[in-house]
Amino acid sequence: MHDDRQLVEGRFERAMRQFVRPAQYAARMPLTLSVWHAPGEPVPVAEALTGTYEPFASGSVWGKPWSTSWFRIQGEVPAEWAGRRVEVVVDPGFTGQGPGFQAEGLLYDASGVPLKGIHPRNRHLTIAAPAVGGEPVHLLLEAAANPAVLEDFEPTPLGDVLTAGDGPIYRFRSADLAVLDEDVWHLVLDVEVLSELMHELDAERAARHDILRALERMLDVLDLHDVAATAAAARAELTEVLSRPASASAHRISAAGHAHIDSAWLWPLRETVRKASRTFANVTALARDYPELVFACSQAQQYAWVKEHQPHIWDRIKKAVADGNWAPVGSMWVESDANMPGGEALARQLVHGKKFFRDELGVETEEIWLPDSFGYTAAFPQLAKLAGARWFLTQKLSWNQTNKMPHHTFWWEGIDGTRVFTHFPPVDTYNAQFHARELAHAERNFAEKGGASRSLVPFGWGDGGGGPTREMLEKARRLRSLEGSPRVEIEKPSAFFEAAYEEYGAKAPVWSGELYLEMHRATYTTQAKTKQGNRRSEHALREAELWCATAALRDATYTYPYDALDRLWKTVLLHQFHDILPGSSIAWVHREARDTYARVLAELDEITVEAVRRLGTGEASAFNASPYPRSEVIAHGDQLVHVNVDGLGSRSLTEAAAHTRGPGAHAAATREGDAIVLANEHLTVTVDSDGLLASVRDLGHGGREVLAPGTRGNLLQLHPDHPTQYDAWDLDAHYRHTRTDLTDAESVELVEDGPLRVTVRVVRSFGASRVTQEYRLAADSRRLDVVTDIDWQESEKVLKAAFPLDVHAERSAAEIQFGHVHRPTHANTGWDAARYEICAHRWLRVAEETYGVALLNDSTYGHDVTRTPHKEGLGTTVRLTLLRAPHSPDPETDLGTHRFTYALAPGASTGDAVAGGLALNLPLRVAESGEAPPLVTVDDPAVTIESVKLAEDRSGDVVVRLYESRGGRATATLTASFPVSGADETDLLERPLKPAETSDTGLALSLRPFQILTLRLRPV
């Protein structure tokens, strides 16, 4: 037989393009338009209903960037259309950009009830099926003129309403009343499913040729000049091939509707409120026509927005949940970044997320759902289990640049040994459309073939919103069992996980440790002020809860601020979304984030001041929110005071002030030629004439030199930073090829000369930037602080601070949530080499068998660690990544002034690093309030208290969350300073698991390495 495949394929492609698809709407007529341009920010529909509308003609321009226009759409169904399926079809000026990244809108009825969202792939609203002639059409379209921001990562002013300009950016094409020819529409879907499948089948397979010939017969029957009259007969020619069942061994697809909506990204937070409303309206409308639909939706924050702003849609969601069409998933407040949020913050993501789904929808979610976060902390498996989650889903690892993940269904093992059953959908997208290419890829790509037979496919338009469409549901019906294709079953994710666990749980492989994304490494650094706001807020919340709980137990007249703390926590959790905290959103988002963090911190300070005021009267004291004792020099009035303070308690400054006059702890400075030498009881630090660290000697370890021979410490290094594609996201390895060492100093001067603290100030200028750094060494301190002020005005550069250490380290230890992870310092394998930029929280430590050095920070996350040969052996260079200057999506990322501190801690053990990181991030608070004993204490320093608060149920119980922080086993006693009638171990949501063990002195604790334990104490 002659091979005429290309001719036949070309024939039906042209026929579909020019004749069949245009015939889907049998008749169209324009509707009458009028418009009201809302001033300023979006308004509720009630206000839009009272607006003054002016006539508007299709073809006219509208919409300055980020504005909203309300269009009245009016008309009447013609009598000759009676009995047909009549729809309104709207095109406000859609461009080539995808759904959610351009103009979009929400249609309301004449009374203001939301009906359905529209976007480029979902432009219709069904008026009636069958229609009644003369039926009036009166709709209101809330049209958002959202600009397309991400154009090849070019800098653009469109990312902020303050810079986007006033010119209209859209031209309203049409608003028509139209008759949908359902025979033609179904023919299009039949052909799409078969032709897409045909192209995925090998040319040697008979099924491919059978489909081709069926399509050819369909064309022979179809009259291209009368498609409507012949569509049904044409469909009949495809019935046989569409009826052929899938093979018994076909891969099984569990499909769940999805619309991963970024809570902010190329749009501000306020726009996500509307994106969620449009999408959720679409889904609930779709469920009426397709009862098999199951829509998996995460992010409790977005539900809460819709509940507040769109009560009609919220009622429809509740009904869809009850009817089984809607599956709340994810268990978290937002789909947060999964590297940088602190331990308590990740716990609260789960607490507030699960609590919302349980209280508002009666659903106990059982999975972590993070398809798009940029890597996943090894603390997650334990947190998932403690929150009552059984499953974990991610998709982003398919983006790895170097190494392909070896598993798709596996057990993920965390740092404490907890395992969670995890799925990584082999379809490699969370926005599937049921294209045969996607399903064939899922089957070919699936790593567990031969052991497991099913995978999950999230389908629907996402990122910018939209969700599943009727075309996707129709394709799913045809693909339920079709020869040559995987079987498709629309079902809840929980059903997939249960079936996958039953089939493969006992055999699934194990992946231990973090799920590192080999991409988007710059998200540890970009938008430094957003990251700093998060870090400060997390610790301010910790401090506020501690002192508020203390005040509530010490002062019967004090009222614990449950509502305020709940609101502030949710605000911070929202800003941990995986395009806000990582710094990958538009300028508008980060401008608002900076303002929000300032308000959060100001309110938390007021709350804490009031709580501390209730703890005593009149006497100035230092309050320590860290669980570890502190020996520090702090400012009190116009003098410095050396003070010792117990963990979680306070200490009067009256006695401590004597140290400013007596022979206690000391710090001093001397000059040796052009160098300045700083010294205290523990360290001797030499700052050379370039303002670099020429020597750091650890007196407690025989005067050991910390810096590698021939090197200098705190060397600022500037690299060009031009990622191949993802500007704000990526720090590509080629940045290392070129660097400039910033060694020139404008000035190096001693500005503070004991007796309690010595300080050297160094000023440098480079490019258009200027940096001032102060080396501060305090009495009795084992760390050297580097307080940094920088006016950063660079373009597409990355700034690092290098510490070449004389430590032969096989691996680094970096703090993560509730523990730390080890990473090799070598690049033996592709997996090792790909981790050239890593995330650490408050500390990173490198060590030999008996000696270690830690770098502490108060707001930096990005680091790199390399093995560095020197003339006497092998050392280790640790660098902090301080600032970047990418141009997209925010063209002025990080430009401006910054203030942050990092510190070198020679001789630090893991325990020292834990305590030191907490101390740097929780400065002692001075208040006129007298001494207060700690509410709780633990007698083993390996056990770190993470939070102390009152219970969420407002019972007055005290909740203490703690963990083993050094990587070993710990036996300890927790003692409360208030009478306790009983105590329980609980899950993260403070639900009792079992009674806590008691001893004569308190609660007996026994913890495995990195185990998290939540205790609930009932005060008498």
The catalytic residue positions are 372
Whether 712 and 692 have beta carbons less than 8 Å apart is answered as: yes
682: three-class secondary structure by DSSP: coil
Rounded Cα distance between 642 and 653, Å, is 9
| Strand 650-652 versus strand 639-645 pairing type | unpaired
Beta bridge partners of 339: none
Whether 874 and 826 have beta carbons less than 8 Å apart is answered as: no
> Taking the CA of residue 767 as centre, how many other CA atoms within 13 Å lie in the half-sphere pointing to its CB?
21
Phi, psi of 867 (to 5 degrees): -80, 130
Whose CA is closest to 416, among 987, 965, 1016?
965
- Classify 547 as helix, strand or coil: helix
User: Per DSSP, which regions of 570-626 are E strands?
Assistant: 620-623
Nearest 10 degrees: CA dihedral of 730, 731, 734, 737? 160
d(CA 434, CA 418): 35
Question: What is the spatial distance between Cα 704 and Cα 702, in angstroms, rounded to a whole number?
Answer: 5
Query: Which amino acid makes up residue 450?
Result: G
User: How many angstroms separate the CA atoms of 476 and 291, rounded?
Assistant: 13
Complete DSSP assignment for 447-495: TTBTTB-EEEEEESB-BS--B--HHHHHHHHHTSS-TTS-EEEE--HHH
The three state secondary structure string of 6-62 is HHHHHHHHHHHHHHHHHHHEEEEEECEEEEEEECCCCCCHHHHCCCCCEEECCCCEE
Tell me how far apart the alpha carbons of residues 201 and 68 are, in angstroms, rounded to a whole number: 47
Token pair of 732 as six digits: 């590509």
Q: How many CA atoms lie within 13 A of 145 on its CB side?
A: 27
Within 951-1011, strands assigned E span 958-964, 970-976, 980-986, 992-995, 1003-1007
Three-state SS at 662 = coil
Give the whole-angstrom CA distance, residue 603 versus residue 537: 10
- Cα separation values, 693 from 170, 774, 790, Å: 58, 12, 19
Residue with tokens 């799913």: 476
User: Two tokens at 412?
Assistant: 């993920």
Q: Is the torsion defined by CA of 527, 337, 120, 297 positive or negative?
A: negative
- Cβ-based neighbours of 136, under 8 Å, separated by 6 or more: 74, 75, 76, 77
Cα dihedral across residues 489, 491, 494, 499: positive or negative? negative
Sort residue 618 into left (φ over 0), alpha (ψ -120 to 50) or beta: left
Residues whose CB falls within 8 Å of the CB of residue 854, separated by 6 or more in sequence, listed in order: 843, 844, 845, 904, 905, 908, 912, 913, 916, 917
Please give the Cα distance from 804 to 990 (Å, whole number): 45
Tell me how crowded residue 202 is: count the other CB atoms within 10 A of its CB.
Answer: 8
Round the CA-based radius of gyration of the chain to a whole number and report it. Answer: 32
Contact 215, 238 (CB under 8 A): yes
| Whole-number Å distance between alpha carbons of 715 and 930 | 43
